[in-house]
């Protein structure tokens, strides 16, 4: 059943246009929009270029720019604050306690350095540049430095190690620490397995064991 068109409904029905006039209208709109876009493009040609060809060219960075995360291991006290506060777990840190009497220097906070930093690895491919680790560092050994990160073609090149030790030195310290732990465990096991000796009873001047003094009875 068809509804007769009224004056109100007739205004909502699109009028059919001549296909030829529609074609030229669309063509004109396309030409105008292209010219507008080209005008915007050509108007920027004489202006000064604000982009650089990174990484061949680099712009100067501000002093507080979060550019490259660097750890100065000589100032690191192995507090692990950076590892605890990191939201994406980019740190791999291993330390070995120094032997008694071994001098590793003084930390920036004035305390003696007691740990060998065997591994201090940072996975910059996962870093979100939040800066929480730098703020949490007690000795300020971890900080942002310039220039910005270097471009790499392999993600493994973003795994940085700041321990500054050779593989032989690392293995030597780890073996020494393992031997120390084994000796300590053996000492604890021997102490636990040893029979407990009862303390000797106190003797009187005559050489006989003294009996405990009687406790006074309550008067009733």
* pLDDT higher than 60, residue 9: no
CATH number at residue 102: 3.30.70.3270
Q: Band the pLDDT of 11: cuts 50, 70, 90.
A: low
Assigned domain for 89 exists: yes
Most confident of 13-17, 46-50, 82-86, 216-220: 82-86
CA gap 123, 102 in Å, rounded:
31
Confidence of residue 150 (pLDDT cuts 50, 70, 90): confident
pLDDT at 5: 53
Domains contained in the chain, number: 1
**In degrees rounded to 5, what are phi and psi of residue 81?**
-65, -35
CA distance 81 to 9: 73
> Is residue 23 in a domain?
no
| pLDDT level of residue 153 (50, 70, 90 thresholds) | confident
pLDDT of res. 14: 62
In a domain, 78, yes or no: yes
> What is the pLDDT, as a whole number, of residue 20?
87
Element holding 22 (H helix, E strand)? helix 19-43
- Cis bond upstream, residue 19 (ω within 30): no
Domain that holds residue 94: 68-168
Cis omega before residue 5 (within 30°)? no
More confident residue, 211 or 90: 90
Structural domain contains residue 102: yes
Distance CA 127, CA 143 (A): 14
* Tokens (6 digits) for 142: 């971890």
Q: pLDDT tens, 194-213?
A: 777 666 666 655 555 555 55
172-201 pLDDT per residue, tens: 999 998 998 888 888 888 888 877 766 666
Provide the terminal-to-terminal Cα distance of the chain, rounded to the nearest Å. Answer: 119
Is residue 151 included in any domain, yes or no? yes
Task: Assess if residue 93 is contained within a domain.
Answer: yes
Best CA proximity match to 91, nearest among 69, 121, 65: 121
Both structure tokens of 161: 């190690």
pLDDT at 220: 47
Report whether 96 contacts 172 (CB < 8 A).
no
* pTM, rounded to two decimals: 0.61
Report d(CA 116, CA 163) in Å as an integer. 9
Position 97 in a domain = yes
38 within a domain of the structure (yes/no): no
């Amino acid at each position: 059943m068809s509804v007769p068109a009224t004056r109100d409904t007739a205004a909502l029905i699109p009028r059919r246009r001549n296909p030829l006039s529609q074609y030229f209208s669309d063509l004109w709109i396309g030409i105008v929009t292209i010219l507008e876009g080209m005008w915007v493009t050509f108007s920027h040609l004489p202006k000064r270029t604000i982009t650089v060809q990174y990484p061949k060219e680099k712009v100067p960075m501000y002093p507080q720019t979060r550019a490259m995360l660097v750890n100065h291991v000589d100032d690191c006290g192995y507090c692990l604050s950076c590892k605890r506060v990191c939201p994406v777990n980019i740190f791999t840190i291993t330390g070995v306690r120094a032997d008694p009497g071994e001098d590793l220097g003084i930390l920036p906070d004035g305390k003696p350095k007691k740990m060998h930093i065997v591994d201090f690895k940072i996975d910059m491919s996962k870093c979100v540049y939040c800066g929480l680790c730098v703020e949490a560092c007690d000795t300020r050994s971890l900080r942002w430095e310039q220039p910005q990160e270097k471009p790499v073609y392999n993600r493994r090149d973003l795994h940085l190690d700041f321990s500054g030790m050779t593989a032989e030195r690392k293995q030597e310290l780890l073996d020494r620490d393992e031997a120390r732990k084994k000796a300590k465990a053996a000492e604890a096991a021997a102490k636990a397995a040893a029979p407990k000796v009862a303390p000797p009873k106190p003797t009187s001047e005559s050489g006989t064991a003294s009996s405990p003094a009687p406790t006074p009875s309550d008067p009733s």
